[in-house]
Each structure stands twice: as C-alpha cells, then as structure tokens.
Structure 1
Amino acid sequence: MHGPAMSGWLLMALCAVTGSYCLLRTRTGSEEERRTARAEALMGFGMAAMAVPAAAVAPPTWGWGVYAALFAVAALRALWFSRPRFSRSNGHHLHHLVGSSAMVYMAVVMARAGGGGHGAHTMGGHSMAAAGGIPLLTGLLLVYYAVYVLRSGARLVPVAAATTGGGPPVAAGWAARPELALACRLTMGIAMFAMLLTL
C-alpha cells in the first residue's frame, strides 16, 4: 500500500473479483445465505472503490461522506439481522457489523485527511494524514482481522480437503462451493487488514 499505485490497483482488482463472486452466490442457497452473500458483495465492491488509486480517479471530499453513510446503513442492517430472531447463526452478521463499521471509520479518516494532499501514508494511492486514525481503534481492528484471517485460513484447508477427497467429485455450480465462499471471506479479511495498516 505504501509506494506505487500498483498495489492499489491489485487490491482493487482482488476486491472487485471477490465482490463479483459474492454476487453470483446471491442466486443460490437459503435466504440467510443470500443475505450474507449480498452483504459480502457490498463489502467487496466498497473496498474495491476505496482502493482505486487517486492518480486515476481522485474522489471529491464529499465522496468519503457517501462511503461513510452507505456503510453506516450496512452496519445497522447487520446489527438488525444479527438478532437471534432473524438468524440461527449470527456470527456472519456480527462480522459484517465489524467490517461495515471499519469501512465507516476509514471513510471518516479519509474525509478528515481531505482524501488527497501530501500525507505520509496512502490507501490505494489516496493520501492520508500520518496520524489520521485513532491508534487504539486501528490496533483493535488490526488484531480482529489478523485473528479472522488466521481462523479463516485454518477453516479453509479442511473444507477444501473434504470437497476434493474421499469419493467421487460432487457436481456443484460455482456459486455453491463452500471453499470458494471461505476463500472470498479470507481475501476480504486480508484486504481489510492491508487497508487498516495504512491508518
């Protein structure tokens, strides 16, 4: 993330591909699975938009306010659906609550930094003030995403082994592959960790 805009383009492409796959997942599964896929698609595309290098498209300062408002609504939605009445397993919704809140936090920091200028750090090529974020909050989010990434990676190995080994291959569409859904979550966790490092 520090240095050339190439890292911003790569992060943008990775998040956009992840968001696209999550959109495919919205066509299959239960209502709960489709709801989760929609939230993950929003997160993927939002992260992709936030990672576009400023040299290519410098968003206006008010654009960060739009990001903050959009993800504040997503955070409230995740909080609403995390209630046991709506979901048997509210872990995904609580994770989306943390992710959406982190996006609001980063958008607010970017808006305060002016979304451009001569800061020491960059997010996808967008300048940030060197001390733009709250160090304790940034540190807590970094710890959360580090643990999330390690946990997701550990969960991915047994799922991939179970789906490929021991018996004939099961025909499943791209949208119904549990290991791909886990890989997308892992990818977005790594991308969020990388973006938070810039604060």
Structure 2
Amino acid sequence: MHGPALSGWLLMLLCGITSAYCVLRARSGTAGERRAAHADAVMGFGMAAMAVPAALLTLPDWMWAVYTVAFGGAAVRALVGARRSGHHLHHLVGSLAMVYMAVAMAPGAGQGGHAAHAAAGAAGGVPVLTGVLLAYYALYVLRSAGRLIPVDTAAGGSDGRGGGAPGGPGIAWGARPELAMACRLTMGLAMFAMLLTL
C-alpha cells in the first residue's frame, strides 16, 4: 500500500505544481496562448484532484459525476476551439480521457472507484480504449521530449530567443515556450501514469 500511495502523492504534487505554473503562464502572451494555458491549468488541477491518495481523502460518490460533467464541458469547448489550433485537439483528447477515467473509476464501474485507483488496482475501463489512450500519450510524450532538445540555429550558438540566460531580462518566465512544452510533457507523463492504473 505504501508504494501506490506514494505514487498518488507524487502525481498530485507534480500536477498541482505544473498547473500553478500554467496559471502564471496565463498572465502573459496572446489571447490564444492564454486560453491554452487556462486549459492546461484546468486539466492539471483536475488530474491532481483525481490523484489524491484515498488514505488522505475518500471522494464522495457524486464527485465522479462532477468530474464527468466538468471534463465533458471542457471537451465540448476544446472541440469548438479545435478549428483554430491543433493544441485544442490535444485538449479534446485529454478532456475525453478524463471523462473516461472518471466513469471507469466511479463506484460500481470497477472494484471500488477512487480507493482502487489509488491502490493501482482499478478494474474499470475498456482495455482497447485504455491501450489507444496509452499509445497516444506515449507518442505525445516522446514528441514533446524531442521538441525540448536544443538545436544549434546559427554560428555563435544563439537559440534565437534573444533572452540570454534563463530568467534573464530578455523574456518573462511565463513567456518561455520551452517551459510551456515542459509543462505539457509533465502532464502527458502524469496522464500516462494514471491510465496505467485502469
């Protein structure tokens, strides 16, 4: 029991910190970047709440219905926004995955909902659908990690951002695209880990 509880704590902490940074990101940038940061923050906070170890808090039965409705609404919003940006398609998949996990972990869907999830023993879910989502998130994580690898752009080793050292005066922390990508990579890994428990 200690191992799964520890993984729940780590997932909760990781998603919570990542989401807090997404809230900071939402304070700057274009309107589209702010919308994406808000969507990332909602997804991360939802994942953090879902990962709360059962030893700390046993969620009431109705909470799974709240998750389903909330992330169903997020999926509709992402579907509407998908015409503007490819990142909305990722939010659509993520929101639908959250709905799927909430339904699969609800009491009566498997072996006891949140407690089973926290113990990495939830028996809910459709294996084929879980496998498709795991494959999607594995590819997403690999692609995101590849985009974080620095590339020499010109003689002199400048990366083209003109900001000097990280956190320097050239660019704000909230506007650093590599940090936004690192947040998305982190949440992709957390989603992959949560899907493994189904």
What TM-score, normalized to structure 2? 0.87
* Kept in 1: contact 2:4–2:120 (CA 8 A): no
- 1:147-185 Cα shifts (integer Å, max 9, x gaps): 0000000001137x77xx427706222101111000000
Q: Which runs of 5+ in 2 are unaligned?
A: none
- The verdict on how the C-alpha distance between 1:141 and 1:20 changes in structure 2, with shifts beyond 3 A counting, is same
Asked whether 1:187 is paired with 2:186, we answer yes
Query: Offset at 1:128?
Result: 1.8
> 1: CA distance between counterparts of 2:86 and 2:117?
28
- List aligned pairs for 1:22-171, cutoff 5 A: 22-83=22-83, 87=84, 90-111=85-106, 112-113=109-110, 114-116=112-114, 122-125=116-119, 128-129=122-123, 132-158=124-150, 165-166=157-158, 169=164, 171=170
Gaps of 5+ in 1: none
Task: Provide the residue aligned with 1:6 in structure 2.
Answer: 6
Deviations 1:87-146 (A, max 9, x none): 2xx2100000000000000000011234256xxxx43347522xx110110000000000
- Cα separation, 2, equivalents of 1:55 and 1:185: 28
Q: How many residues align?
A: 185
Cα RMSD (Å): 2.0
Structure 1 segments, 4+ long, off by >4 Å, are: none
What amino acid is the match of 1:185? R
**Length-normalised TM-score, structure 1:** 0.86
Residue aligned with 1:123, SS: helix
